[in-house]
Amino acid sequence: MDPLLKLVHLLQDDSVTTDEKLRQVCVQTQLAIPRANRVSLWNFNREKTEIVCLMCFDKVSNEYSSQQVLSQTDFPQYFAKILEEQVVMASDARNFSATKCFNQSYFEPLDIYSLLDFVLHKDFQPTGILCCESVGQKVNWTQEDVESLRMLSTMTSYFFG
């Protein structure tokens, strides 16, 4: 089944727990964008000054994690870019102006080289981020990757926005 359709069915299923829905957002996004071997779902605080990881799926280790917090104070270039443009496409994330701020504390320890993020919305206001990352190597994201992430983010926004 197509990852987007599978995600829609899972998110609408009242018998599926919230935790499992969060996991499936990450898994189905990874299946739709296979060169993203780390996918996470983040939630903005009310002031848009922090994002909290609701769920992260690392395909390489097949592990899930959550609760990491990233602050606008620490990463102002990234917050400005994602809130202004709604998408960040950084195939060379360690050298991209809006994302190189993550190098020491996030990219290098996690071996991340590429990032593709899209904002989730509710009532036309940013509420979170669906994040795709490439661990271990750079990835040249395609327009198809961006469109897939846009559709997945829109679907996810209906349920978690």
Give the domain ranges of the chain. Answer: 3-160
Q: What is the pLDDT of residue 7?
A: 81
Average pLDDT over residues 2-8: 78
Candidates 95, 118, 126, 124; CA nearest to 33 is 118
**Residue whose structure tokens are 């605080």:** 45
Q: What phi and psi values does residue 70 have, to the nearest 5 degrees?
A: -120, 135
Q: Percent of the chain, pLDDT > 90?
A: 80
CA dihedral 150, 151, 155, 156 (to 10 degrees): -40
In this structure, are residues 7 and 24 in contact, taking their beta carbons and an 8 Å threshold? Answer: yes
Confidence bin at 161 (pLDDT 50/70/90)? low
Read off the tokens for 119: 């904002």
Average pLDDT over residues 130-156: 95
Candidates 96, 98, 135, 132; CA nearest to 113 is 135
**Residue whose structure tokens are 């609408």:** 12
Q: What is the pLDDT of residue 1?
A: 63
Cβ neighbour number for residue 149 with a 10 Å cutoff = 24
**Euclidean distance between CA atoms 7 and 14, whole angstroms:** 13
In this structure, are residues 3 and 31 in contact, taking their beta carbons and an 8 Å threshold? Answer: yes
pLDDT digits (tens, 9 = 90+) for 20-66: 999 999 999 999 999 999 999 999 999 999 999 999 999 989 999 99
**Euclidean distance between CA atoms 45 and 38, whole angstroms:** 23
**Residue whose structure tokens are 């978690």:** 160
Read off the tokens for 152: 């997945």
Give CATH superfamily name and number for 3-160.
GAF domain (3.30.450.40)
